[in-house]
């Protein structure tokens, strides 16, 4: 009797606990991927995520074929598809790795119950996290709301680095059920805006391992300082691979621990530790989303429900300028253009662009979160929600509201030579360094006419934001 292996956000063969469990049964394994975007409502996968998914499924399908197996694709309600496949194949068991978004948790619970009712054996495993959200709590048994004690508690448990090996082959069933043609799912854009994504990324498990190898060879040992410089490839760029489960955090911990055993010196060691800590932030994001499932739409700090944001009809033009990298603030525009062209943005620049939107332009953070959701290849409900609420100052572990990023100072500090800005904002290529981060201060004859004037006065808007915050504090 075959086993259905339901693949979801675990598009890999190595270190895939559900696959290992399926192989352990000794039965033939039928790997399936079900396309049911409406089940993720209201957070349907965005355009950049769909692009990634298409290519990742292609890669997975090839890897499965090389292992003597196949990837069966079906579109429709997940429960209906599974029942149909059970019926067609005579399988008696379904195994999957867990997901943690609120809508998917509800869906999986429903499916588990319905399958069990019909006598189907169901098993779920953890492929995505070092610590599932219900396994970590503070002394009073409550979820953590602050990162440092959360991560300390995790580290005290010991970071798991046990990694299941890559199976050599996967036993095939006597008869394969038919599969959809991936192209019919129309995940790729109809107008081709995706050249930049194709140049930058290699979706799939092999691409994830190439990215990791590159980072281990050229980035991780200087990560502590390199991670703040957007003009240099100082971070791993593993986020989309992690989101789609093409690589898992245990594999990263294992790779880091191997390095640490090699005598990498103090800078190397602190850098590797800093990288592991960022993996911890990802864990924390899942912890928060699981325990506070309302947060993708609502601020965790409820006082911010009453924040006096501008109205959509008043901010529509500013929002569009921000989205398209035309705010007239160079570092912000560089980041927004990097996002549009490559589907990714450097972490420091994410914080700076988000801060400008929320604090200087007075636009609700949910607008920014939605734009990132549609344009990021690593769009992830947990990390995106944490990042936006952190920057807006309304989350669990939030930067205090009064901390407003100054994009001019940030640019001078982290992109001093302007490599990042000049790359993404070529209109400013010839502007001398001393004006590059604030072109409006340059003599009129030097200001490139093609580049917009700043849409907002950074100093005045900062004061307005702080005044609104003071009022909110007084009235709550
Ligand atoms: P590295 O620096 O190499 O870090 C390694 C891994 O650690 C990352 O791949 C990621 O999985 C994790 N990580 C690092 N920083 C964070 C963080 N602050 N929060 C959570 N996990 C982290 N990350 C996403 O994966 N998806 C998102 O949708 C997302 N939206 C964000 C929105 C805002 C406003 C902000 C400020 C941050 C957001 N982040 C998001 C977090 C972070 O910017 C990215 O994870 C990081 O830039 C990815 O690049 P990297 O893989 O090179 O990171």
Question: The domain that contains 157 carries what CATH number?
Answer: 1.25.40.80
Domain stops at, among 270, 291, 312: 291
Count of Cβ atoms closer than 10 Å to residue 411 Cβ: 24
Q: Which atom of ligand 1 is nearest to the CA of 350?
A: 36
Where in 307-407 does DSSP place strands (E)? none
Out of 261, 291, 321, a domain closes at 291
Domain count, the chain: 3
Q: Which of 173, 6, 2 is nearest to 95 (CA)?
A: 6
**Which has the closest alpha carbon to 353: 338, 45, 341?**
338
Tokens of 439: 């072109």
Residue linked to tokens 């997901």 = 99
Query: In 3-state terms, what secondary structure has residue 474?
Result: helix
> What does the pLDDT look like over 183-241, one tens digit per residue?
999 999 988 889 999 999 999 999 999 999 999 999 999 999 999 999 999 999 999 99
User: Which tokens is 402 given?
Assistant: 């009064």
The reply to whether 461 and 448 lie within a common domain is yes
- Looking at the fold, whether 87 and 26 belong to one and the same domain comes out as yes
CATH classification at residue 102? 3.40.50.620
pLDDT score for 476: 73
Q: 318 with 363: CB under 8 angstroms? A: yes
Ligand 1 midpoint to CA 96 (Å) = 25
Please state the length of the chain. 476
- Mark which of 237, 260, 291 sits at the end of a domain: 291
At 150 the pLDDT is 97
Whether 52 and 135 share a structural domain: no
Write out residues in the chain with pLDDT < 70, as ranges. none
User: Does 170 map to a domain?
Assistant: no
| Reported pTM | 0.97
Q: What is the model's pLDDT at position 377?
A: 98
Q: What is the pLDDT of residue 473?
A: 80
Both 334 and 436 in one domain: the answer is yes
My answer on whether 328 and 454 are in the same domain is yes
Same domain, 383 and 359: yes
Alpha carbon of 378 to those of 206, 290, 416: distances in Å?
A: 17, 19, 27
The reply to whether 117 and 261 lie within a common domain is no
CATH number of the domain to which 381 belongs: 1.10.579.10
Statement to judge: residues 137 and 230 lie in one domain:
yes
Do 281 and 150 share a structural domain?
yes
Same domain? For 314 and 454 the reply is yes
Q: Known catalytic residues?
A: 278, 281, 309, 347, 365, 388
Domain that holds residue 146: 129-163+207-291
Same domain, 136 and 113: no
**Cα gap 265→274, rounded to integer Å:** 14
Q: Is residue 332 part of a domain?
A: yes
Would 400 be classed as within a structural domain?
Answer: yes
In a domain, 84, yes or no: yes
In a domain, 31, yes or no: yes
Least Cα distance to 167 among 252, 25, 67, 32 occurs for 67
Does any domain span residue 184?
no
Q: From the alpha carbon of 345, which atom of ligand 1 is closest?
A: 47
**Which residues sit with their C-beta closer than 6 Å to ligand 1?**
227, 235-239, 242-243, 278-279, 281-282, 285, 347, 350-351, 354, 372, 376, 378-380, 383-384, 386-388, 391
Nearest C-alpha neighbor of 275 from the set 301, 302, 236, 314: 236
Q: How far is the CA of 61 from the centre of ligand 1 (A)?
A: 27
> What is the structure's pLDDT at 368?
98
Q: Are residues 254 and 324 in the same domain?
A: no
Inter-CA distances, 107 with 95, 98, 316, Å: 15, 11, 35
Written as six digits, the tokens of 335 are 């980041």
């Amino acid at each position: 009797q075959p086993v259905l292996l339901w693949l979801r956000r675990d598009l890999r063969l190595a270190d895939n606990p559900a696959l290992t469990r399926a192989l352990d049964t000794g039965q033939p394994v039928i790997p399936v991927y079900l396309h049911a975007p409406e089940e993720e409502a209201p957070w349907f996968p965005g355009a950049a995520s769909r692009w990634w998914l298409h290519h990742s499924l292609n890669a997975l399908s090839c890897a499965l074929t090389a292992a003597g197996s196949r990837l069966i694709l079906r579109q429709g309600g997940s429960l209906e598809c599974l029942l149909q496949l059970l019926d067609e194949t005579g399988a008696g068991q379904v195994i999957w790795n867990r997901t943690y978004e609120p809508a998917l948790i509800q869906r999986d619970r429903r499916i588990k119950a319905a399958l069990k009712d019909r006598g189907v054996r169901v098993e779920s495993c953890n492929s995505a996290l070092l610590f599932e959200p219900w396994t970590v709590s503070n002394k009073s048994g409550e979820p953590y709301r602050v990162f440092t004690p959360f991560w300390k508690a995790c580290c005290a448990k010991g970071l798991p680095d046990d990694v299941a090996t890559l199976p050599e082959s996967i036993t095939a069933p006597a008869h394969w059920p038919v599969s959809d043609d991936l192209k019919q799912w129309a995940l790729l854009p109809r107008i081709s805006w995706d050249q930049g994504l194709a140049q930058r990324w290699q979706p799939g498990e092999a691409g994830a391992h190439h990215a990791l190898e590159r980072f281990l060879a050229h980035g991780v040992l200087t990560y502590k300082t390199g991670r703040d410089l957007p003009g240099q490839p100082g971070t791993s760029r593993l986020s989309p691979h992690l989101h789609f489960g093409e690589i898992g955090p245990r594999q990263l911990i294992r790779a880091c621990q191997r390095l640490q055993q090699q005598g990498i010196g103090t800078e190397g060691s602190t850098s590797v530790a800093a990288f592991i800590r960022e993996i911890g932030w990802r864990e924390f994001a899942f912890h928060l989303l699981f325990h506070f499932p309302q947060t993708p739409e609502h601020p965790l700090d409820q006082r911010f429900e009453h924040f006096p944001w501008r109205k959509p009809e008043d901010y529509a033009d500013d929002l569009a300028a921000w989205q398209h990298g035309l705010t007239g603030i160079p570092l912000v525009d560089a980041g927004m253009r990097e996002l549009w062209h490559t589907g990714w943005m450097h972490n420091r620049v994410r914080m700076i662009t988000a801060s400008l939107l929320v604090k200087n332009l007075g636009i609700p953070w949910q607008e920014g979160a939605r734009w990132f959701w549609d344009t990021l290849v690593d769009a992830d409900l947990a990390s995106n929600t944490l990042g936006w609420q952190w920057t807006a100052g309304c989350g669990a572990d939030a930067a205090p509201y009064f901390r407003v990023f100054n994009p001019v100072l940030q640019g001078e500090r982290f992109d001093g030579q302007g490599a990042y800005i000049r790359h993404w904002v070529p209109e400013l290529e010839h502007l001398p360094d001393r004006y590059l981060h604030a072109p409006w201060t340059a003599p009129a004859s030097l200001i490139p006419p093609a580049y917009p004037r700043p849409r907002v006065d950074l100093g005045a808007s900062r004061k307005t934001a702080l005044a609104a915050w003071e009022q909110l504090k007084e009235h709550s």
